[in-house]
Amino acid sequence: MNTIQRAVLFAAKKHASQLRKGTKTPYIVHPLGVMESLMFADASENAIVAGILHDTIEDTNTTYAELVNNFGARVADIVVGASESDKSQPWQIRKEHTIAALRKCNDMDVLAVVFADKLNNISSIYRDWQHIGDDVWKRFNRGCDSQMWYYGEICKIARERHESVSEPARTMMREYWYEYDSFVHAMERWARLNGCGDDREYTPEEEAYFSIMAIEHAAEIRKECPTLPLTPLEEYMKYSKQLGDEKTSDTDANKIAIKMQQLKAKFTEHDWDTLIYSSPVFMRAMINAQKKKHLAQK
């Protein structure tokens, strides 16, 4: 058994009774996700092992000496560097301490582990938000505003420092930054579509992202009910794909373009904007509504 395998077994035993906050997901899924990100970034074995173990001192009865004895002083030091120093302090003080420490930290392995950890956290929240919406924030003692403030401050550090740090920290900072921005843009868009967001214009890149996100999520949901009729969004995108196919003749292309215009004409400008660039939360609600209607007609 190699060191990484031993670390996985060690972490699995230490976190055996724990679940991810507000879910039925075994906690070990989180350190394994951190491990995967660090492997993707070609991190050192010490960093990967520390990533697997990063919550053992903070959230279990594991001691520094125990980590040294099992995995060496370097791994233990990385884990300590990636851990909150005093869990008895109030949430705000602990997070402010973490933010301040990250601004000064020059240990690339520690930075890589911390940002891999935050990446996995924000990705998990984002993924669950896509399915259950703002109910995801009920899992936390501190709600959406506090959580997004904290992750936003972490993102500022990633933006400020990613050019000046070396690998694997640079890759982890970039990956975190992109994921955080995607989440924020999705929430902004959802708020805007519901009449409670800002009115700023989104860039073509942002609009393309929202469209792709909705299409991908619709395809995932459709696996649950493959006989479900296509939504207008999916029908439009099906035509769009056919239109861009080199095998489509000019005659067929003209017919397809007419169908797309007819489909688009069915909606007001606001509705069309909603259908094309809706968040996955809206997409799920729309498809679930059609599913109920479809089943009721049987």
Q: What domains does the chain contain, in order, with CATH numbers?
A: 3-193 (1.10.3210.10), 214-296 (no CATH)
- The model's pTM is 0.69
- What amino acid positions are annotated as catalytic residues? 58-59
pLDDT value of position 267: 52
Residues contacting residue 42 through CB under 8 Å, at least 6 positions apart: 167, 168, 171
Buried b (16+ CB within 10 A) or exposed e, 117-151: bbbbbbbbbbebbbeebeebbeeeeeeeeebbebb
pLDDT value of position 160: 93
User: Quick one: how far is CA 173 from the chain centroid?
Assistant: 14
Which sign, positive or negative, has the C-alpha torsion 166, 167, 173, 178? positive
Distance CA 165, CA 173 (A): 9
pLDDT value of position 276: 42
| pLDDT, one tens digit for every residue, the chain (298 residues) | 899 999 999 999 999 999 998 888 899 999 999 999 999 899 999 999 999 999 999 999 999 999 999 999 999 999 999 999 888 899 999 999 999 999 999 999 999 999 999 999 999 998 888 778 888 999 998 889 999 999 999 999 999 998 899 999 999 999 998 888 888 877 776 666 555 545 555 555 555 555 555 556 556 656 666 666 666 666 766 777 777 777 888 788 888 878 777 766 655 444 444 444 444 444 444 445 555 555 555 5
Closest CA to 282 of 190, 184, 175: 190
The token pair that represents 195 in the structure block = 């009449």
Cα→Cα distances 207→146, 198, 199, 265, Å: 27, 15, 14, 20
